[in-house]
Amino acid sequence: MRPRLVALVSLALASLLTPAPAFAGVPVTPYNWKNVTITGGGFIAGIVPHPAEKDLIYVRTDVGGAYRLDPATRRWIPLTDWVHGDEWTLTGIESIAVDPTDPKRVYMAAGSYTNDWSGNGSILRSSDRGATWQITPMPFKFGGNELGRSNGERLAVDPASPNILYVGSRKNGLWRSADHGVTWSAVESFPTPDDTKNVGIIAIVFPTPTRKIPATSSPSRVIFAAVSSPTAPLWRSDDAGATWKPATGQPLGLRPHQVKFGPDGWLYLTYGDDAGPNDVKDGAVWKYQPSTGTWTDITPVKPNGDDRFGYAGLGLDAQKPGTLVVSTLCRWGRHDELFRSTDGGATWKPISPTATFDENGVAFLRWGNPKVDLGHWIGDLEIDPFNSDRVLYGTGMTIWGTDDLTALDHGKPTHWLVRAQGIEETVITDLASPTAGAPLLSAMWDIDGFRHERLDVSPEAGFFQPQTGRDSSIDVAGLAPDIVARAYGKGGAVSRDNGRTWTPFPTLPAADAGDGHLAISAKGDTIVWTPENKATWLTRDLGATWQKSTGLPEQLSPVSDRVNPSWFYAYDPRDGSVYASSDGGLNFKKTTQVGPGDGQLATVFGLDGHVWIVDRTGVHRSGDHAHTFKLVTSDITGFRIAFGCAAPGSHIPATYVSGRRGEERGIFRSLDGGKMWTRLNPDNLQFNTISALAGDPRVFGRVYIGTRGRGIFYGEPAVGNAR
């Protein structure tokens, strides 16, 4: 497959104005797109500063793609929003490499999983700092969201001959490119690693200093490769990769996590007994002098007894040889720590006892506590190559940074702020936009969901309480918007105040009922719930008692009529069957059949009995409580459908579809009941994988998009394009 070129649409300041180029297909309506602000919300797997250009810093995530820092605003610019749902695996960034001789060149190893059902990975290449990308498909898979995803970096540019790149795979050995990553071949001389738990080769490093290096035609002779193996972690080549041998005298029994050369000529390594970011119970920090083969144990604190943990993040001060910072990993009992040394690891100071942490408006990071701590899953950290005071480190939820690290040298505290502005990495499962109250309620993985009163501010109340870790569904009563219901991992909850506070269901229909999909009736007096891997149940007393519903196949998602409290509906994407209940969800009957596919059924606020379905065959509409459907269009097929406020002067709600027309993908809108459609996004803004869609019933043109790894977007008509 030949390389493919894609272009970046910048979301600087989290804002995007889509142009209106001439398309052969559906017309494009100019729209402003922004992220709904949560800030972070996912694992920061790696931070990669350019060694020779100030303020050029990249970040990689496990499910949300990659970002580049805008130094003027200290916000992160997303670099992979051109990825569409069919290429979702490219949003798991396994590694990033910069060309130390050319700040414009950057490379990424992209691919989320090595499972049988996941596609092969790709090397992404850019010669303009990530504004555009070329894609080289690889004959193997990367694991950007697998065990060991914060190890690294496994992709590297030879500083002496920057046309040469190496990438370490998880299951397919070491690979090399001699043409800036366009083509690749296996390094057959590299041995097959033992006992890597499918993490494989985690880092390629060169001992050559990487600041202000003139490129030469001769490749580096000495190369090191780190393997996630307790039996032979570090390998060395002295002949430009022609042959390899284990580094002599190295410590065994642990797996390397981060491997970096310092300006003092020593190779520094952090270790854990597992690859992380979880289940690490032992670890160490070592340094290695390649010229003599000397190994020195510089571990700050040895794990022991009930204080079990590993080491992961590793930052080296390019301005001050021998100064470094390391992080613990999985120190759950006493909380993780950052340690700093100014003498090559001979002595250490813990940072957090005298540090202050300011969540900087990102209240959910308190996790319901009075104040924040330094976080968990600290897989990578970096000291700014040009500023010894400046440090960034990633956690399972955000990026923290300081501008006064050297205050430690004077016995003063360091001050840390959240530095993840612009990064939105939540995985959204459901969205709801009530007819009154907050404009947006959300459900998501890991941090439940939020009530957004202001779309551009991370909610001061934090995430929903009780905090359960994962919400799968949320719904608002169509005629009583104060009443909201949500389902989560081990149950569900009801709110009577528009999502401000929540009361868990007093009982469950089954002891292990949780997740799945629920719907609440128009008046808020009935909840119909299909828990994961369970039958459908209903409650007429907000969870005090439950009745088993009849007539629905397992695992269908019930949907309530937005006006008539007696009606509920369901669509079976496996065969296109449609079901309806006129008795509040107690009994469902099959009414008709439309097309199969990964589609969705939705009801229209303000209109009794109006039901729409989008599927692989098109868009279908019913006005008789889902008994008969009319094909609105077969040109647009899709996966999600929603309704929003009508255009000025119209009584017809706006219809939004996430889908495609031929080769065009994106968000399509109709203002006249499906006769005419326009597209709201350009080709190079595809939102990664769209998992939820909601129209705003109060603001014309506003639509919300939930994604699997890029948080929530919202779009509104550009100024001067009210329709």
Which of 169, 176, 221 has its CA nearest to residue 193? Answer: 169
Beta-carbon contacts of 620 under 8 Å, excluding residues fewer than 6 positions away, are 594, 595, 612, 613, 614, 629, 630, 631, 632
Omega before 153 cis (within 30°)?
yes
Q: SS3 helix, strand, coil % of the chain, rounded to 5? A: 5, 40, 60
What's the CA gap between 415 and 582, in Å, rounded?
60
Q: Three-state SS for 363?
A: helix
Beta-carbon contacts of 284 under 8 Å, excluding residues fewer than 6 positions away, are 251, 254, 270, 271, 297, 299, 302, 311
Establish whether 635 is a catalytic residue.
Answer: no
Residue 712 near residue 433, CB atoms below 8 Å: no
Write the CA distances from 467 to 132, 372, 490, integer angstroms.
Answer: 40, 16, 11
Which of 226, 206, 224, 225 has its CA nearest to residue 216? Answer: 206
Query: How are beta strands 589-593 and 44-49 bridged, if at all?
Result: unpaired
Catalytic-role residue among 62, 282, 384, 696: 62
Give φ, ψ of 363 to 5 degrees: -65, -30
What's the CA gap between 153 and 137, in Å, rounded?
20
* One-letter identity of residue 652: I
* One-letter identity of residue 679: R
Beta-carbon contacts of 599 under 8 Å, excluding residues fewer than 6 positions away, are 571, 573, 613, 614, 615, 616, 638, 639, 641
Give φ, ψ of 441 to 5 degrees: -120, 145
Query: To which H or E segment does residue 558 belong?
Result: none
Residue 29 near residue 666, CB atoms below 8 Å: no
Omega before 277 cis (within 30°)?
yes
What's the CA gap between 623 and 615, in Å, rounded?
18
Joined tokens for residue 192:
């097959």
Catalytic-role residue among 70, 403, 446, 598: 446
Establish whether 86 is a catalytic residue.
Answer: no
Query: Where would I find the beta strands (DSSP E) of 293-390?
Result: 294-297, 310-316, 324-329, 338-341, 349-350, 356-358, 380-383
CA angle 199, 203, 206 (to 5 degrees): 165
Residues carrying an active site annotation? 62, 446
